[in-house]
A and B are shown apart, each in its own frame.
Chain A
Amino acid sequence: MNPVVLCTVARMMAPVLLLFSLVLTVRGHDSPGGGFVGGLLATAAFTLLLVAQPEELVRRRPRVDPTRLAITGLLVALGSGLPALFLGRPFLTGLWAQVPLPGGGALKLGTPQLFDAGVYLLVLGTAMAFILGLLHGEEEEAREREG
């Protein structure tokens, strides 16, 4: 296998995959898709980059701690259920609003989309934590101990 080919393809494909993961997440409310699949696809994009790039590059790249990303996602998902509670309705009840757009049409915004975003981050963070742990577990551990 030629790493140059892999590297080039990965660099081209990763943004496309990331974009598609967002598309999947957004359309997920009414059609197949959603935060879970979107998060997995985003993980695939990042994993492709990780595998393709030379190791020094990966190590140098500034990173978000995937565990924290996952926990933020969890809090976002839990938080998306709260507005309904404040209105005296059951937790996680979907609340929707129509935002009129210039030039006709309207944008449908609601708490389930927030929930999907939370799930997206949660899945991405959890899966990345697993993969990074498997790729260089010992390195991570050392970093944890120092921090």
Chain B
Amino acid sequence: MTPPLLLTLPLLVCLGSAALAHLCPRRAWPRRGVALAAMLALTAVGLLLLVEVRRQGVLAVQLGEWAAPFGITLVADLLSALLVLIAGVMGLTVVLYSAATLAPELEAGAYYALVLVLVGGVCGGFLTGDLFNLFVWFEVMLGASFVLLALEAKQEQFEATLKYMTLSLVGSAVLLTAVGMLYGVAGTLNMADLATRLPGLERPGLVSTVAVLFLVAFSLKAGAFPLFFWLPASYHTPPVAVTTLFSALLTKVGVYALVRTFTLLFTQDVGLTHTVLLVMGGLTMVTGVLGAVAQYDVRRLLSFHIISQIGYLLAGLGLLTQEALAALIAFLVHYIFAKSALFLVSGATARASGTYDLQQMGNLYRSHPLLAALFFVPALSLAGVPPFSGFFAKLALIRAALRAEHWLIAGTAAGVGLLTLFSMMKIWREAFWKGHPQDPAAKQEAPSSVNVGWGVLGPCAALALVMGVLGLGARPLLELADAAAGQLLEPTGYIQAVLRRPP
């Protein structure tokens, strides 16, 4: 396939099928079918894109053949292509899980169209080569997420949506301000063009100010310290399928935007910006994991762990060495799968025990041994226990921190890993190991409780399998991450691909 087709298809597939899904009759199965087909197609296109970028280097296309600094640019380097592929895989998993768990009237409504718009917005964010378009894709994604959050129209969801929406809109306002200021300073918003112009500007102080504004806006979207409050206030209210989608993709676009802008654009004043990133990363890790300790609602607990893991990613970006960026990318991949698997399993445990409250659960190890195994893999992986994917990602990150002689961040990362393990063991002990609180006799005989079908367990098992593969075959992933990090640190390929005159 030609580059124009490969780069446009992810967006066309998502947005076109969202429109198609909404034109379908108001029943569950046609809309589900459209969503399933779209996500399969997106995964396939993502894979082709990754293969092609690996072979040819950075791909770029100018929509409508309007030349680069003026037109709409789509670019894919290894990081973007990898993330588009992951968006496809996660979309597919979530659609399958939704089909097994959601109420039919929800599926028959706007649900799938919104999921597709959200995934389309996420892919747009990954592929765009222009900061203003990045803002637009953020809005597409957020618009869909607001509605998804409140789709069941429960009171707690409205409360959560209100908080989430308010803080997101504040973030969007800051982002738009930053974009406007940067345009005023540099006269362009095309990222490749900016990368060539920013170093030559006469007012470095102003550029640093804009950089910090971007840092605030994107770290709010990513859920980093100290602007993460919207996340644990909202993520536990929608159906588990929606939470999984949010945790897999939404905050990751924020992280991706940070990585893109703080490797390509704002590297003039590393002493300021990247030190701030390091400190934020460390604090995000610690506050997230400490916040999780106090929680007994599984989904809230996992939401705090999202924040904690975002801290690792920020720390990797703050170190800004090739090794650290490679570790960041490997960590990002591992963590999207691990966290999503944990959310899916939390949905399954809630189906099995009828509650999300850890104190009310118990004995699931006996009644649902397979479910217990499926929890164990991502939990250990998230905590960074070998041989699962999390171990290698975390090890690479800590090693990069040690090489860069940032002892404090390396120690924090290791310590937070232990606390994460503690948190995961808490879920294990409460939900799976201990006897059921209402029924002490249940310890001896496995109760014939709710059967959790393969529709629910299948997606969990698939993700656990991915984690096993990424752990045992960590080398290809680390090599890919290393190549992607090389592209980030040496952006001439990116700049040339974008600014080349169209044939």
Residues of A near any B CB (own CB < 8 A)? 67-68, 71-72, 74-75, 78, 81-82, 84-85, 88-94, 147
Known A-B contacts: A84-B4, A90-B8. Give 15 more (CB < 8 A): A71-B19, A75-B19, A78-B15, A78-B19, A81-B8, A81-B63, A82-B12, A85-B4, A85-B5, A88-B5, A89-B4, A91-B61, A91-B64, A92-B72, A93-B64
29 pairs, CB–CB < 8 Å, chain A vs chain B:
A68-B23, A72-B23, A74-B15, A74-B19, A75-B19, A75-B20, A78-B12, A78-B19, A81-B63, A82-B12, A84-B4, A85-B5, A88-B4, A89-B4, A89-B65, A90-B4, A90-B62, A90-B65, A90-B502, A91-B4, A91-B8, A91-B12, A91-B61, A91-B63, A92-B64, A93-B63, A93-B64, A93-B65, A147-B26
Chain B nearest CB from A13 CB (Å) reads 33
CA distance A91 to B219 in the complex (A): 32
- Work out how many contacts link A and B, with CB atoms closer than 8 A: 50
CB interface residues, B 1-55, toward A, < 8 Å: 2, 4-5, 8, 12, 15-16, 19-20, 22-23, 26
CA distance A146 to B347 in the complex (A): 32
Chain B nearest CB from A111 CB (Å) reads 10
Q: Which 10 pairs show the lowest CB-CB distances between chains A and B?
A: A91-B8, A92-B64, A90-B4, A71-B19, A93-B65, A92-B63, A90-B61, A74-B19, A75-B19, A88-B2
CA distance A82 to B5 in the complex (A): 10
CA distance A32 to B63 in the complex (A): 22
Residue of B nearest to A82 (CB): B12
CA distance A72 to B23 in the complex (A): 8
Residue of B nearest to A92 (CB): B64
Chain B nearest CB from A2 CB (Å) reads 42
Residue of A nearest to B23 (CB): A71
Contacts of A85 in B (CB 8 A): 4-5, 8
Contacts of B62 in A (CB 8 A): 90
Task: Please report the total number of B residues contacting A with Cβ < 8 Å.
Answer: 19
Query: Is there an interface contact between B22 and A71, defined as CB atoms closer than 8 Å?
Result: yes
Chain A nearest CB from B208 CB (Å) reads 35
Contacts of B8 in A (CB 8 A): 81, 85, 90-91
CA distance A94 to B2 in the complex (A): 18
Most buried by B among A67, A75, A81, A91: A91
Contacts of B22 in A (CB 8 A): 67, 71
Query: Is there an interface contact between A90 and B64, defined as CB atoms closer than 8 Å?
Result: yes
Contacts of B20 in A (CB 8 A): 75
Chain A nearest CB from B54 CB (Å) reads 22
CA distance A67 to B23 in the complex (A): 9
Chain B nearest CB from A114 CB (Å) reads 13
CB interface residues, B 49-93, toward A, < 8 Å: 61-65, 72
Residue of B nearest to A147 (CB): B26
Most buried by B among A67, A72, A89, A147: A89
Chain A nearest CB from B72 CB (Å) reads 8
Given contacts A74-B15, A78-B15, A85-B4, contact A90 B63 (CB under 8 A): yes
Contacts of B64 in A (CB 8 A): 90-94
Residue of B nearest to A68 (CB): B23
Residue of A nearest to B21 (CB): A71
Query: Is there an interface contact between A78 and B16, defined as CB atoms closer than 8 Å?
Result: yes
CA distance A147 to B61 in the complex (A): 43
Cβ proximity bits B398-410 to A, threshold 8 Å, 1 near / 0 not: 0000000000000
CA distance A75 to B24 in the complex (A): 14
Contacts of A74 in B (CB 8 A): 15, 19
Chain B nearest CB from A94 CB (Å) reads 7
CA distance A67 to B64 in the complex (A): 28
Contacts of A68 in B (CB 8 A): 23
Residue of B nearest to A73 (CB): B19
Query: Is there an interface contact between B4 and A75, defined as CB atoms closer than 8 Å?
Result: no
Chain A nearest CB from B52 CB (Å) reads 15
Residue of A nearest to B60 (CB): A90
Contacts of A92 in B (CB 8 A): 63-64, 72
Chain B nearest CB from A60 CB (Å) reads 24
CB interface residues, B 346-397, toward A, < 8 Å: none
CA distance A89 to B64 in the complex (A): 8
Chain B nearest CB from A86 CB (Å) reads 9
Contacts of A71 in B (CB 8 A): 19, 22-23
CA distance A75 to B502 in the complex (A): 27
Chain B nearest CB from A127 CB (Å) reads 16
Chain A nearest CB from B7 CB (Å) reads 8
Residue of A nearest to B113 (CB): A71
Chain A nearest CB from B48 CB (Å) reads 15
Most buried by A among B8, B26, B61, B64: B64
Contacts of A94 in B (CB 8 A): 64
CA distance A89 to B2 in the complex (A): 9
Contacts of A67 in B (CB 8 A): 22
CA distance A117 to B287 in the complex (A): 52
